[in-house]
Amino acid sequence: MLYGRSTALISAGAVAVLIAGYSIMGGQQRPKHCVFCSGPLDRIVYEDADFIAFHDIKPDAELHLLVVPREHYGTIKEMTTAELPMITRMYELGQRLLGERGYTGDMARFGFHRPPFNSIHHLHLHCLGLPFRSHRASIPFTEGVRAWFVPAARLISDLTKALANHVPDNK
């Protein structure tokens, strides 16, 4: 089960996982109200054709970057196995950006906020170079009872398992 109740939808050999009643938004048209779609031009640390990375406007750690796909996607509750390569690339990019700045191993944390605990409805990976600025700042990024934060490696593992467990249609 991925981050709530899940229902597997299998049609024409494609795998999609709908989670907790959210609809799939992958690659949809940019909404007018999305602050990530317009991009924070003054805080960019990396950009390419697919992703943009920038400093969080309210950093909770010594270094707090966000990696965002240029194409508009919803939240992790809407991710399908089709987005696995994108999620993996986001994670790899985040690791590289933090590593270049000296944050590796236990001094780096990567993950996604789980709705309703996300502030922006556009998929974004939090890349945290520890330590946190305060104990209070660490709470939304702690995996566990509150389940506010899903580590990137766990999301990738869960999507990989969902893909491996898929039995193709016989059509």
CA distance 28 to 115: 19
Q: Are the CB atoms for 92 and 36 separated by under 8 Å?
A: no
CA distance 36 to 32: 10
The tokens describing 106, both together, are 């236990």
Going 164 to 10 to 77 to 55, the CA torsion angle's sign is positive
State yes or no: is 126 an active-site residue: yes
- Kindly name the residue from 72, 113, 126, 135 that is annotated as catalytic: 126
Q: Are the CB atoms for 66 and 56 separated by under 8 Å?
A: yes
Catalytic residue IDs:
126
